[in-house]
Amino acid sequence: MEEKVIQLQINYKTLEEFEKFREYGQEELYMREELEENIVENQNNSPFYGMYIGDKLVARMSLYKIDKKYDRYFNPPQDYYELCKLEVLPDYQKKGLGKKLIRFAQSLGCPIKVNVRCGANSYFQNLGFEPAKYNPVRDRAENPYIWEP
Amino acid sequence: MEEKVIQLQINYKTLEEFEKFREYGQEELYMREELEENIVENQNNSPFYGMYIGDKLVARMSLYKIDKKYDRYFNPPQDYYELCKLEVLPDYQKKGLGKKLIRFAQSLGCPIKVNVRCGANSYFQNLGFEPAKYNPVRDRAENPYIWEP
Q: What is the mean pLDDT of residues B92-97?
A: 95
pLDDT of residue B141: 84
What pLDDT score was predicted for residue A96? 94
Provide ipTM, 2 decimals: 0.81
Mean pLDDT of B61-80: 94
Interface-testing mutation among A24, A26, A72, A89, with chain B (most B C-beta atoms within 10 A): A26
Which helix (DSSP H) or strand (DSSP E) does residue A130 occupy? Answer: strand A130-131
Which of chain B's residues have a Cβ under 8 Å away from the Cβ of A144?
26
Whole-number pLDDT of residue B140: 86
Taking CB atoms within 8 Å and a gap of at least 24, the contacts of A15-18 are A17/A50, A17/A56, A17/A57, A18/A57, A18/A60
Residue A2: what pLDDT?
A: 67
Task: Please report the residues numbered 15 through 54 in chain A whose beta carbons come closer than 8 angstroms to any beta carbon of chain B.
Answer: 22-27, 29-30, 47
Closest Cα partner for A18 from A65, A56, A75, A71?
Answer: A56
Residue B42: pLDDT over 70: no
Whole-number pLDDT of residue B125: 95
- Domains of chain A (ranges, CATH numbers): 5-147 (3.40.630.30)
Specify the pTM. 0.87
**Cβ neighbours of residue B17 closer than 8 Å, sequence gap 6 or more:** B50, B56, B57
In angstroms, the separation between the Cα of residue B22 and the nearest Cα of chain A is 6
Nearest-CB residue to A82 (from B30, B62, B140)? B140
Please indicate whether, in this complex, the C-beta atoms of B25 and A118 are within 8 angstroms of each other: yes
Res B45: pLDDT: 77
Rounded CA-CA distance B58/B54 in Å is: 10
Residue A40 has a pLDDT of 62
Lowest mean pLDDT of A49-53, B23-27, B52-56, name the range: B23-27
Is pLDDT above 60 for B1? no
Q: What is the 3-state secondary structure (H, E, C) of chain B?
A: CCCCEEECCECHHHHHHHCCCCCCCHHHHHHHHHHHHHCCCCECCCCEEEEEECCEEEEEEEEEEECHHHCCCCCCCCCEEEEEEEEECHHHCCCCHHHHHHHHHHCCCCCEEEECCCCCHHHHHCCCCEECCCCHHHHCCCCEEEECC
Does the CB of A148 have a partner CB in chain B at under 8 Å?
no
- pLDDT per residue, tens digit, chain A (149 aa), is 567 999 998 889 999 999 999 888 889 988 888 888 876 666 667 899 999 999 999 999 999 999 999 999 999 999 999 999 999 999 999 999 999 999 999 999 999 999 998 778 899 999 999 999 999 888 888 899 999 99
At residue A65, what is the residue type? Answer: K
Q: Nearest residue of B to residue A121 by CA position?
A: B25
How far apart are the C-alpha atoms of B36 and B67, rounded to whole Å? 29
pLDDT computed for residue A118 by the predictor = 75
- Is residue A64 within 8 A of residue B141, CB to CB? The reply is yes
What are residue A59's DSSP bridge partners? A51, A88
CA distances from B110 to B49, B104, B106, B134, B140 (A): 16, 11, 7, 21, 24
Would an 8 Å CB–CB cutoff place B143 in contact with chain A?
Answer: yes
| Residues of chain B contacting A132 with CB distance shorter than 8 Å | 26
Contacts of B85 in chain A (CB under 8 A): 141
CB contact under 8 A, A134 and B82: no
- Give the Cα separation of A11 and A50 in Å (integer): 14
The more confident residue out of B23 and A104 is A104
Using DSSP, how many helices (H) and how many strands (E) does chain A show? 5, 7
Helix then strand then coil, in percent of chain A rounded to 5, is 30, 30, 40
* Cβ-Cβ contacts under 8 Å, B140 against chain A: 64, 82, 84
Query: Taking the mean position of all CA atoms in its chain, how far away is CA A118?
Result: 17
